[in-house]
Homo-oligomer: A and B are copies of this chain.
Amino acid sequence: MSKIAVALLLAIATSASALAGEGMWTPDNLPKTQIQAQYGFTPDARWTERVQKAALRLAGGCSGLFVSPNGLVLTNHHCVNSCVQQLSTADRDFIKTGFLAKEEKDEIKCPEIELNRLDQISHVTARVKKATEGKAGEDYSKAEKAVKSDIEKECVGKDSERTRCDVVDLYHGGVYDLYKYHRYQDVRLVFAPELEMAFFGGDPDNFNFPRYDLDMGVLRAYESGKPAKVADYFPFSKNGADAGEMTVIVGNPGGTDRQLTIAELESTRDVDLIPTLFLLAERRGLTEQFRSGSDEHWRIAQSDLFGIENSYKALRGRLEALQDPTVFELKRKQEAELRDFVNADPARKAKYGAAWDEIAKANGAYRNIEAQYKFIEYGRGFSSKYFDYARALVRGAAERGKPNAERLREFTDSKLPSVTQRLFSTAPVYPDYEKVKLAWSLTKLREWLGADDAFVKQVLGKESPEALAKRLIDGTKLGDPAIRKALWEGGADAVAKSDDPFIVLARSVDPEARAVRKRYENEVESVVDKNSELIAAARFEKYGTSVYPDATFTERFSFGAVKGWDEKGVAVQPFTDIGGAFVHATGSYPFALPKSWLAAKDSLNLKQRLNFVSTNDIIGGNSGSPVINRNAEVVGLVFDGNIHSLGGDYWYDERLNRAVSVHSGAILEALRKVYHADRLADEIEAARK
């Protein structure tokens, strides 16, 4: 992050109005005046609604889009990567070979993918605030959970299989909206290129540009065993993205921290980011070495390693932003402006004045319980699919016995379909790999809580982490989805009687885990929520909704343009082309092109644009988002941000921050000429008419 850039930004970004490319706007609050002024374009209601409903969320953490009336879905390869791996076996490795369903009947169900289409937004702020009014600590926390669960349950009604409702907390409690989704859980894999091409350049090129990736995957939503019929979908533009063109990205940015207080940013840096990065780095080394053991280990660990390396790089980028003293200078100035505004008026001061210090205090409390919370409740100490299953079964049994409003948030009625999709998943579990992960995480539990900690002693007894992991995994039957389903359906009785070693473990650690979660919710979360609401209210008084809310993994629109940037005096061009991939190929992983591309080289249009950058403001979760033009036609598919975009968690810097996308033209070129997937290319192009 260039210091000069930051200093300049300081001068221009302290007014609260958004910069040109900046902003992740909710569908019901697009910055129309600004877009009109900048691009001569005003999205009307029909345009907005079509776009809203043609865009998709992958519940696991990505975005996507419908590209045909028959439920064909486009997203990134790295968003379907775990499905591709789950459908592979030692003999049939689709990660290596790619996957193409020749006909509809060859499309295979992904065990854990859920798609959400946003159908409706309604406002529930008054109801939520009324429920929590005058409350604090545990009372606040309980009331907030209860009212959210009630609202969601009413919204879902009887069709929880196809309807998903989430109360979304915007502006850190300034606004509560109810998002109603159409839920698709029968989602099938249609096409995935080879990893070598989807992720050409691998981790070294991740978050870098120029790059040369066909990071795409094709799915299809099904309903009642047939391709889903959808009214809203995006046609492909004829020529794809062009230089300078206005681009709209519609997707689900996972989360930003642009409105955090100074105390929260410091806590993020020291208490969250740095320890998390230490653990990620160590797990990365462990996983790399495990993966190098054999081809089969490579296949098993590949998807996890991608996730680890991707997070590691993204979080390091965020840390670097927070290590830059100029960022804190900017943030301090913004915070001081708002606090001055609050303190200037006695009534405002009485209402909002204490909020910042209360949040700082809650972050102090967090510092004292962070390790316990992360290792015992958040699951860092028990890194294993078996444990995840066991905890879901143990807690699911206990929680389903309670009234909906009193349950843990993840077990309310409206959340159960997601829980059971994961729990009954037919994705394979690899015991040897699970042993490595679990043994390692148990050593970390001991390291971070201490060998003499009572909880650690309770878990390990006289066993070593390795011996305990081996005993648990050799003895468990939870690898079998039928066993898990029987335990889920058997409910509290079946779970209480089970002597499966993971169920026994999950039962025995649950009281401590719930206790630390309660402390976290009462002493940290509820205090932060309550006081963030106050700050949000103060911010509204000063700025209104001319600002956009921090990202919340819900649908957002971002307006930008295709444009390179200046990298320390060198102009980075906005496009790469297919020919460039051949130039950069060394033949060695991760810079090796797959055979299919080498074979197709002569038939390919080497000048076809492959990847491009635009000024749109995006962040993790936007992967797989459509890049569209003003006619709502697809010109690209987001798959990355450049290295400067990583600081985007805390701010947006138009001069450097870029979204990176696959060009729509390259998608068609590859489908037709490399993969001979004319069935899909035809379906996509037919949507244009």
Contact = CB atoms under 8 A, between A and B. Distances in A.
Given A270-B323, A286-B289, A588-B467, A205 B281 contact: no
Interface string A439-468: 010000011001100000000011110110
A177 interface: no
Contacts of A279: 281
A204 B451 CA distance: 6
A204 B436 contact: no
A203 B282 CA distance: 15
Contacts of A450: 204, 208
Nearest to A325: B266
A436 B440 CA distance: 20
A88 to B, nearest CB: 23
A230 interface: no
A587 B462 contact: yes
Given A278-B281, A446-B204, A463-B588, A289 B436 contact: yes
Main secondary structure of the interface of A (DSSP, over half): helix
B462 A586 contact: yes
A288 B451 contact: no
A544 interface: no
A87 to B, nearest CB: 27
A277 interface: yes
Interface in A404-458: 436, 440, 446-447, 450-451
Contacts of A287: 285
A280 to B, nearest CB: 8
Contact of A203 (B436, B447, B461, B591): B447
Contacts of A289: 285-286, 289-290, 436
* Most B Cβ at <10 Å: residue of A316, A436, A464: A464
Interface residues of A, number: 42
A378 interface: no
Contacts of A316: 278
A323 B268 CA distance: 13
A274 B289 CA distance: 23
A201 interface: yes
A467 B590 CA distance: 12
Nearest to A467: B588
A472 to B, nearest CB: 15
A436 to B, nearest CB: 7
A278 B464 CA distance: 26
A182 interface: no
Nearest to A465: B588
A284 interface: yes
A319 B440 CA distance: 23
Contacts of A286: 285-286, 288-289
Contacts of A290: 289
A467 B591 CA distance: 13
Contacts of A672: none
A65 B204 CA distance: 49
Contact of A285 (B204, B283, B462, B464): B283
Interface in A177-208: 201, 203-205, 208
Contact of A274 (B274, B446, B462, B591): B274
Contacts of A440: 285, 288
B285 A208 contact: no
A588 B442 CA distance: 14
A540 interface: no
A41 interface: no
Contacts of A293: 293
A204 to B, nearest CB: 4
Interface string A253-287: 00000000000000000100010011101111111
A543 interface: no
Nearest to A316: B278
B201 A451 contact: yes
A281 B276 CA distance: 11
A47 interface: no
Nearest to A447: B204
* Most B Cβ at <10 Å: residue of A462, A466, A588: A588
A447 B643 CA distance: 13
Contacts of A281: 277-279, 281-282, 285
A589 B443 CA distance: 12
Nearest to A589: B464
Contacts of A461: 586
B208 A451 contact: yes
Given A204-B447, A204-B450, A285-B288, 13 more contacts: A203-B447, A205-B451, A270-B323, A274-B274, A274-B323, A278-B281, A282-B285, A283-B285, A285-B285, A285-B289, A285-B440, A293-B293, A464-B589
Interface of A: 201, 203-205, 208, 270, 274, 277-279, 281-290, 292-293, 316, 319, 323, 436, 440, 446-447, 450-451, 461-464, 466-467, 586-589, 591
